[in-house]
């Protein structure tokens, strides 16, 4: 197992934890601002009246989302040639991404490829498109859910989603057209920095084509639609728990709100979509259901973010600790064995 030096792992871990705590701090600020804007004196009693017996169901729905996405992760690893990678390590790396998704710039999430490589999963280059494909198929799922819920509702806001969907489809078609991409790669290889990494760039492109071929794209996107629909149902249950009537229109609104706000959060490039997603959920709930009090919309936003994003961050932090200890332990074993051989 290629684990490298313990000192380098310790430095990387310290950097990751600093970024993670910055993200957590930002999240606390966002929730505090939301509570103040919505009038905390009304938000707290609204939360107190929530049917808390529904909240474990929200966690179960989120866990179902994670299970489906882990299956997608495992398929991607297989498609890029990663075999023999222990399932428990794969799960730990996958979960760690939830914690790293709230690091500034979301750069930490890309370290999943690094962790797989360091834990003996193979070269990093073919793993980079896996991270991008995860986000891409999640985005496609949100687009599908947003358009479907708009069709079931009053047709609100489908035009921007449809345009974004067409742009995504065009980009995917271009990626599959080697007649377009190969000349661009040859041109890029004239740049000295890229020329030195020509093999890695080629590996990234081949892995991208392998996991984004249309048959596989349809399969994993369908899986993503199902997995993210579970979280949309979670928002629906939260709204019901806050006193709204359980009806099809409310389910359509919950699906449209969560999917559209998630897209906005992703496009904002903010860690975890913090700020953008919260504003989107609260604002869209108030716009689509003018009868909802501001305190109810804010309380629903807090609850769904705790039951999805922050639940994932908690699991991811535990997984990150496990990975850190595993790599450090392996590095120490390698050091001891080297000293023994040296004698």
DSSP assignment, residue 268? Answer: T
Per-residue pLDDT tens over the stretch 21-68 = 888 888 888 888 888 888 888 999 999 999 999 999 999 999 999 999
Please tell me the predicted confidence (pLDDT) of residue 201: 67
CA of residue 293 relative to chain centroid, distance: 30
Task: Please give the pLDDT value at position 2.
Answer: 47
Task: Take residue 205 and report the two structure tokens written for it.
Answer: 């492109």
DSSP symbol at 197: T
pLDDT the model gives residue 10: 65
Query: What CA–CA distance (Å, rounded) separates 268 from 92?
Result: 27
**Cβ contact 252:142 at 8 Å:** no
Helices (H), 101-213: 111-116, 128-152, 158-176, 178-188, 192-195, 198-211
Query: Which two structure tokens, joined as six digits, stand for 240?
Result: 């019901």
Asked whether residue 343 is domain-assigned, the answer is no
Residue 223: pLDDT above 90? yes
For the beta carbon of residue 50, count every other beta carbon within 10 angstroms.
Answer: 18
Is residue 1 scored above 50 in pLDDT?
Answer: no
Give the integer Cα–Cα distance in Å for 201 and 335. 33
Q: Which domain holds residue 39?
A: 6-338
Q: Is residue 273 part of a domain?
A: yes
Q: How many domains does the chain have?
A: 1
For residue 1, being part of any structural domain is answered with: no
* Predicted confidence (pLDDT) at residue 269 exceeds the cutoff of 80: no
Is residue 274 assigned to a domain? yes
Q: Residue 40: inside a domain, yes or no? A: yes
Does residue 78 surpass a pLDDT of 80? yes
265 against 255, higher pLDDT: 255
Kindly report, residue by residue over 276-327, the tens digit of the pLDDT: 899 999 999 999 999 999 999 999 999 999 999 999 999 999 998 888 888 7
Choice among 56-60, 137-141, 235-239, 338-342 with the minimum mean pLDDT: 338-342
Angle at alpha carbon of residue 91, lines to 208 and 175, rounded to 5°: 10
DSSP assignment letter at 271? G
* CA 29 to the chain's CA centroid: 21
């Amino acid at each position: 197992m290629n684990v490298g030096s313990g000192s380098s792992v310790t430095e990387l871990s310290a950097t990751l934890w600093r970024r993670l705590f910055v993200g957590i701090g930002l999240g606390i600020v966002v929730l505090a601002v939301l509570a103040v804007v919505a009038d905390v004196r009304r938000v707290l009693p609204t939360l107190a009246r929530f049917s808390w017996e529904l909240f474990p169901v929200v966690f179960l729905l989120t866990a179902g989302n994670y299970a489906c996405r882990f299956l997608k992760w495992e398929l991607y690893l297989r498609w890029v040639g990663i075999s023999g990678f222990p399932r428990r390590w794969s799960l730990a790396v996958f979960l760690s991404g939830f914690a790293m998704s709230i690091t500034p710039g979301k750069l930490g999430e890309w370290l999943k490829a690094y962790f797989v490589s360091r834990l003996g999963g193979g070269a990093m280059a073919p793993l980079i498109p896996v991270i991008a494909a995860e986000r891409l198929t999640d985005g496609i799922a949100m687009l599908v859910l947003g358009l479907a819920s708009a069709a079931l509702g009053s047709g609100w806001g489908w035009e921007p989603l449809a345009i974004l969907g067409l742009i995504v489809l065009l980009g995917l078609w271009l990626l599959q057209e080697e007649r377009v991409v190969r000349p661009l790669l040859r041109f890029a290889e004239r740049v000295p920095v890229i020329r030195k990494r020509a093999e890695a760039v080629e590996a990234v492109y081949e892995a991208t084509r392998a996991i984004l071929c249309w048959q596989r794209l349809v399969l994993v996107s369908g899986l993503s639609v199902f997995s993210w629909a579970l979280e949309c149902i979670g928002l629906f249950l939260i709204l019901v728990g806050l006193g709204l009537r359980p009806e099809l229109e409310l389910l359509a609104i919950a699906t449209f709100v969560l999917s559209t706000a998630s897209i906005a959060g992703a496009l904002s490039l903010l860690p975890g979509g913090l700020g953008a997603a919260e504003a989107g959920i609260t604002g869209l709930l108030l716009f689509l259901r003018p009868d909802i009090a501001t305190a109810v919309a804010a309380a629903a936003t807090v609850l769904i973010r705790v039951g999805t994003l922050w639940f994932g961050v908690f699991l991811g932090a535990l997984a990150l600790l496990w990975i850190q200890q595993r790599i450090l332990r392996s590095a120490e074993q390698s050091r001891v064995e080297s000293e023994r051989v040296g004698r």
